[in-house]
Structure 1
């Protein structure tokens, strides 16, 4: 399949290094301490923050920092696949861990000892780049909640198809089985908080 035309355009009309249109809004969940929606093209995500609050399970309480928890889920209508996935499936658990670890790298947890911060992220519509969209939504929701942070995390994915590097993969490109790299950075501090590489095929780079 040809993912970039001879004219240098991808299937959705973008150039290889062009991102999709972004849209963000905070304060979208009234009863949450902080919330945000984030859209990358047709991918739509919502995040809600509860806390800092009292630790529900005292056995998990930490005297020197806050406990950060994260739950990731996909709405049943988020993709064309209407099969209901069980809550806590392997992929959801893995993405929850990625989001939590990325957020822990920017939250000043030592300022909120013996407390708990819960991050809930749900994909409303999936068209590639869901991990990055979730991270971007979560960091905005944390800021909306007034959680002290070192910096805001920004995230984007990139891929490599038919010997062409592509920025911000959509669903068709993401499903092609090529390498997919998700990066999260703290731009003000110039630090990388996430670098995850996924691939279903062996990498073959053209010789110079």
Structure 2
């Protein structure tokens, strides 16, 4: 007997889990959870629970796999045997191998591999509990793990999926929607909108795909805000915390809707505070300029003593070139004639 729901969306536009079609599931993030990894992140997204760890950059073996001009990014996606209701066979499968390949390629445009030639950066994404959208959840966790490991990146990567149920497009599918929906379209992208991963299962029209991509962009903006809030929480300075408290943003930053604006406002306030702290008083500027001028004069006098003959020749040549104009000035201005003759 099938447990497929009769309807996924009610007459008020509310889905089975209480969300609207354009809402993502609640997401919580904790960074630096593994002490032996160079970078790590634990992420809960709805009922998904994913642990990501990064090791490296480190020496790559066997050496025949080394790339002389850049590092190799190896991504391994795996679902634990206990992550689903029906226990799965442990170890790699065709599905996990395929997801590992495409997910690793999603980081190709952002990881600055040229700084670590012949090295390897290993990324492990372990799904501890699965509830649809595990590949996108793993990418979001792996992004923060890479940042936690200090790997140079051009920007963050966020991933989300859009699907079709009851003839409507919905974002961030849950398990019933994923199992019984008409289509599933997972997408990963950078902050500037560059798509780094796109897969599709099912049938969608061109118009539905275009609309779905726009819905995913809106969902990824929410994810970027959550990622930045997690980074600010771990790597933010004491000055940034004080600015947050002074600006009354501590409560706002916990809200997914306001977190993006809060982060931008914090950055602006911190920059302003830094500019005010580095401003030099006028008296100190004058004193510094006088000191620099005296040093320049002393340096010039030393050069004049060492190269006196050469400097004399230069002055003499300039005087001969200007003697005609100076004579005309002397004749036209009798009152200052003595000054010019001297």
Per the shorter chain, which TM-score range? over 0.9
1:59 corresponds in structure 2 to 64
Q: Which runs of 5+ in 2 are unaligned?
A: 1-5, 208-342
Instruction: Specify the SS of the correspondent of 1:158.
Output: strand
Q: Which of 29, 36, 50 lines up with 2:55 in the alignment?
A: 50
TM-score norm. by structure 1 comes to 0.92
Q: Which of 56, 76, 79 lines up with 1:74 in the alignment?
A: 79
Larger Rg: 2
The Cα offsets for residues 39-84 of structure 1, whole Å up to 9 and x where unpaired, read as: 11111101000000001210100100001111111112211112x3
1:103-182 mapped onto 2 (5 Å cutoff): 103-182=107-186
The structural deviation recorded for 1:99 is: 1.4
Q: Aligned Cα RMSD in Å?
A: 1.6
Aligned length: 202
- Within the alignment, does 1:11 sit opposite 2:16 as a pair? yes
The structural deviation recorded for 1:204 is: 7.2
Following superposition, which runs of at least 4 residues in structure 1 exceed 2 angstroms of deviation?
202-206
1: CA distance between counterparts of 2:45 and 2:171? 12
1:101 corresponds in structure 2 to 105
The structural deviation recorded for 1:86 is: 4.2
2: CA distance between counterparts of 1:121 and 1:139? 11
The structure that is strand-richer by fraction is: 1
2: CA distance between counterparts of 1:190 and 1:158? 16
1: CA distance between counterparts of 2:181 and 2:23? 20
| Alpha carbons 2:78, 2:125 under 8 Å: kept | yes
Structure possessing the higher relative contact order (Cα contacts under 8 Å, 6 or more residues apart): 1
Change (3 A) 1:28 1:19: same
1:195 corresponds in structure 2 to 198
1:85 corresponds in structure 2 to 89
| Alpha carbons 1:163, 1:205 under 8 Å: kept | no
Instruction: Specify the SS of the correspondent of 2:200.
Output: strand
2: CA distance between counterparts of 1:101 and 1:164? 30
The structural deviation recorded for 1:105 is: 2.2
The structural deviation recorded for 1:30 is: 1.0
1: CA distance between counterparts of 2:172 and 2:38? 30
Change (3 A) 1:194 1:149: same
Instruction: Specify the SS of the correspondent of 2:124.
Output: strand
The structural deviation recorded for 1:205 is: 9.5
TM-score norm. by structure 2 comes to 0.57
Q: Which of 10, 25, 30 lines up with 1:25 in the alignment?
A: 30
2: CA distance between counterparts of 1:160 and 1:197? 11
| Alpha carbons 1:159, 1:181 under 8 Å: kept | yes
Instruction: Specify the SS of the correspondent of 2:135.
Output: helix
| Alpha carbons 1:181, 1:197 under 8 Å: kept | yes
2: CA distance between counterparts of 1:13 and 1:94? 32
The Cα offsets for residues 68-123 of structure 1, whole Å up to 9 and x where unpaired, read as: 111111112211112x3242210000111121111222101111111001011100
